[in-house]
Structure 1
Amino acid sequence: MKTGAAAPEVVAVAYSGGRDSTALLYATLQVAKSEGWQVVALHVHHGLHPRADEWLAHCHRQCEAWQRRGWPVSLAWEHLGLRPAPGQSVEAVARRARYEALRRMALAHGASVVLLGHHRTDQAETFMLQALRGAGVAGLAGMPAAVCRDGVLWVRPWLGRPRRDIEAYVRRLRLRYVDDDSNADERYARNRLRARVWPALLAAFPQAEAALADAAAWAQEASACLDELAALDLSELHGEQGLDFRACLRLAPARARNALRVWIRQVSGLRPSTHLLERVWTEGAVQPMARWLWAEGELRLYRGMLRWVPVPAAQAQTSGPSPAREACLSLRGAGSVALPGWGGVLHVEAVQQGGVPWSRLRRIELRARGGGEQFQAGPGRPPRALKKQFQSAGVPAWAREGPLVYDTLGQLLFVPGLGMDARAWADAGRRQWRLRWEPGR
């Protein structure tokens, strides 16, 4: 761990109890004893395998045995009890939940560094699997040797070493470890690769492992360069309203698609699939307004601007019965009120102008659009139909979805996407408040 930074006081090791993680934990403890580190072994009980309790018990026994020798190790564990939904990838669900649990435990124990036991053979296998799935450069890059994410530095110190070196290390030291029999289950792609493809590949090409790992390293460099190019492009394309898709289309196709790919990854936190990118690219080029459901949210295109809306908004429109919509509301002052039935949050804010007296907000009525409503955008401007006002203001369809707010006398006070109706504004100098609608929360 020669990173040039000050040595950490606490180092975490992801410890499944298997061969690779056992070897890594043992090796880390040898360094920790001389360097004065504390080591916390992080074990994740996924709740998916019938022998998971046995594995946890083994990890407890091993750490306790090393503690009795005076070694600076402790065990932290978390039970997840995962229940993947039908159609979900068990591997993907478990992997994502595992890293989230590792991060929580590491930070809870004061560790900002987590060591992972992946080796060169894992990297070569990952490259092959990603290539077979049709992955782009980012997917082919495989696993980084070190990456800082969400306040944790994830380090794979053995990424340059083949599996046979770790196997020899474990045999020489006679380390005890658990054997996960699910590694022989060929329903999983990596297991099929190891059982059916890898032996034949190495027999025909003995240097295949090293060559594929080197290819992953080259892909990492290429991916880093593409990310830097995307950052330059997105500084001009991305703003508060989303991604300027029209401007994106004016770039060279490969460069534009790269910017789009990175932007989706940034706003959603997930790597977009090739299928999604192709749909957005081709359909967005010919449609002024479109939506694409994907993963945990929805991409929305309106008037050339592309936005990402996370899961709550998408769920409110696409799944299950909607909650009952509130019809009346008593407000108690500035603040925020969640309205699940309307799929958003109503904010109340004190303002200097453009608001209404509090007497008109103490009790309000919430209504859906019924047709025929008119809205006045400012003093001295004529009231116009909502549809025309929305079009004039460039308000996309999904930003219009929310309650119209009326006072107890039936006068329109507020329209989502447009603001406070000028006919209800308070006189200058009076205390006043305005409403603001936030969809999809």
Structure 2
Amino acid sequence: MAGSLPSFGGEALPPRVAVAFSGGRDSTALLHAVWRLAGAQGVEVHALHVHHGLSPNADAWESRCRAQCRRWSRRGAPIHFQASRLGLAPPPGASIEAIAREARYAALADMAHAVGCRLVLLAHHAQDQAETFLLQALRGAGAAGLAAMPAQIERGGILWCRPWLALPREAVEAYVQRYRLGHVEDESNASPVFARNRLRLEVWPALSVAFPQAAKVLGRAARHAQDAAACLDALARADLQTVARPGGGLDIGALRALGEPRLRNVLRLWLHEGSGHPATAALLERLSAQLSEDRPGTWQVVTGWQLRCRRGELQLRLQGAALGRGAVPDSVAAPLRLRIDGAGWFPAPAWSGGLQVDVVACGGVPLSTLGWVELRPRLGGEQFQRAAGTPPRALKKQFQLAGVPAWARDGPLVYDARGQLLYVPGLGLDARAVGDCEGGAAPEAVDGGLRVGLTWRPEPAS
């Protein structure tokens, strides 16, 4: 089992690794396997525990996990235990599973960043993957949903890895028995209220008898769906460039020319990135049918978001708040060029605001490289790098990672004369546009000229 951990591109485990440790059977086995490897490789191990506050036993689970890490640490390599208490209180009718899952991953990411871990291991195995695939299929999901859980994915500067995703559950159980590992049992796992539990307790036993290779085969189907989802996403981004209008809306005639399957594929991406909510299959089908008729219309998408069709353009609007990607106010015009020749206020009336340019001692961009800049709306596919050494990511992801509220995401993207993204309201300067600045040098001493920072302000400076 320990040998089944991945090598991460042919290299050994990184110097510091985190394991999501609930105290259950699977995460206990994974933490134990990593701990055994850590001693031989000199790896620093962190156990990340999330206390959701949903079970009366949650305090006891946290205490047990903490004690287990102490016991193993006395016998070998140290395990650094980290815990995060959430105290979730889902509103009536809300999906407890979905809320807990989102909160758990956010808490794990926060703890990993706090201790400097860029690799977090998750203990999902082949049956977990098969169950996820089946649940998504029963919900009528498309390729993205059927892709289930990726074996590896980078998000927010963290590599999330499931090293046992192809391993059968029986192998994990055998490992636990071999090393006599104690673990906690979550009483909610026996409740038929949750769809995954019903599938696991009532359907899976019969399915595995009728089809002994079900977990392996369904895992293979999920990998096929992952390939298909990646191809569809790439096609949607390419098509989006051909149907997008300058203000962020979509050209309905160009959309119809794509044909219904590609039309729905583009709308799926555009709506998801614009509103932050995935579009249901029913909504995409309805939009596909309604857009075939060349007449104005308004449709509610999700709470607070509205689609409007007029003058051959489809617009996504956020009601009563600031606007996100693809959602445009009537006042936003085509891309606008501004001449930046020094510090000061540079108004952009068409965007109901302007750029404030200030001299900075370090971290800005050389004024000499600006000259003409262009203000553009978000059209999709833009990549932003928050800091040196981190990967460029989609704007929506960067806004989420930085905790930028929706109202602070409004305003144009600023590009230099070469078409390089310079600045994003709410995020700041793109790290690729910021040169090195060491030693706190005076502004005029860096790169032989002034360095400046940019700030978008929705109203003229007073």
Whether 2:9 is the aligned partner of 1:4: answer: yes
* Cα drift, residue 289 of structure 1: 4.0
* % same residue: 49
Higher CA-based Rg: 1
The answer for unaligned runs of 5 or more in structure 2 is 1-5, 324-343, 358-455
Say whether the 8 Å CA contact 2:152–2:159 is kept in structure 1: yes
Structure 1 runs (4+) greater than 6 angstroms displaced: 333-336, 348-351
The answer for unaligned runs of 5 or more in structure 1 is 316-332, 337-344, 352-433
CA separation of 1:295/1:88 partners in 2, compared to 1, >3 Å: closer, same or farther?
farther
Residue of structure 1 in register with 2:278 after alignment: 271
2:19 to 2, 13, 19: 13
Distance 2:22 2:314 in 1: 42
2:258 to 248, 251, 256: 251
Say whether the 8 Å CA contact 1:284–1:290 is kept in structure 2: no
Residue of structure 1 in register with 2:302 after alignment: 294
Whether 2:50 is the aligned partner of 1:47: answer: no
* Cα drift, residue 252 of structure 1: 1.5
Q: For residue 313 of structure 1, what is the amino acid of its counterpart?
A: A
Q: For residue 201 of structure 1, what is the amino acid of its counterpart?
A: L
Residue of structure 2 in register with 1:148 after alignment: 154
Residue of structure 2 in register with 1:429 after alignment: none
Say whether the 8 Å CA contact 1:118–1:158 is kept in structure 2: yes
Distance 2:14 2:356 in 1: 48
Say whether the 8 Å CA contact 1:116–1:154 is kept in structure 2: yes
* Deviating more after overlay: 95-104 vs 237-246: 237-246
Deviations 1:372-427 (A, max 9, x none): xxxxxxxxxxxxxxxxxxxxxxxxxxxxxxxxxxxxxxxxxxxxxxxxxxxxxxxx
Distance 2:204 2:97 in 1: 20
1:94 to 65, 90, 100: 100
Residue of structure 2 in register with 1:378 after alignment: none
Q: How does 1:349-428 map to 2 (within 5 A)?
A: none
Q: So what's the TM-score if we normalise by structure 1?
A: 0.69
Residue of structure 2 in register with 1:85 after alignment: 91
Deviations 1:251-291 (A, max 9, x none): 01111111211222333344322122223333344442424
CA separation of 1:83/1:146 partners in 2, compared to 1, >3 Å: closer, same or farther?
same
CA separation of 1:50/1:284 partners in 2, compared to 1, >3 Å: closer, same or farther?
farther
Deviations 1:284-328 (A, max 9, x none): 44442424241674445444444445687299xxxxxxxxxxxxx
CA separation of 1:10/1:238 partners in 2, compared to 1, >3 Å: closer, same or farther?
farther
Deviations 1:74-116 (A, max 9, x none): 1111111111112211111111111111111111110111111
Residue of structure 2 in register with 1:129 after alignment: 135
Q: How does 1:299-318 map to 2 (within 5 A)?
A: 299-309=307-317, 313=321
Say whether the 8 Å CA contact 2:20–2:123 is kept in structure 1: yes
SS at match of 2:267: helix
Say whether the 8 Å CA contact 1:114–1:154 is kept in structure 2: yes
Distance 2:356 2:210 in 1: 74
Q: So what's the TM-score if we normalise by structure 2?
A: 0.66
Q: For residue 250 of structure 1, what is the amino acid of its counterpart?
A: A
Deviations 1:181-205 (A, max 9, x none): 1101001001111111111111112
Distance 1:127 1:350 in 2: 50
Residue of structure 1 in register with 2:199 after alignment: 193
CA separation of 1:299/1:99 partners in 2, compared to 1, >3 Å: closer, same or farther?
farther
Say whether the 8 Å CA contact 2:133–2:146 is kept in structure 1: yes
Deviations 1:4-30 (A, max 9, x none): 276522111111000000001111111
Whether 2:26 is the aligned partner of 1:26: answer: no
Say whether the 8 Å CA contact 1:289–1:303 is kept in structure 2: no
Distance 2:124 2:62 in 1: 20
Residue of structure 2 in register with 1:76 after alignment: 82
Q: For residue 278 of structure 2, what is the amino acid of its counterpart?
A: R
Q: Over the residues paired in the alignment, what is the CA RMSD in angstroms?
A: 2.9
CA separation of 1:314/1:291 partners in 2, compared to 1, >3 Å: closer, same or farther?
farther
SS at match of 1:135: coil
Distance 1:55 1:311 in 2: 44
Distance 2:111 2:318 in 1: 26
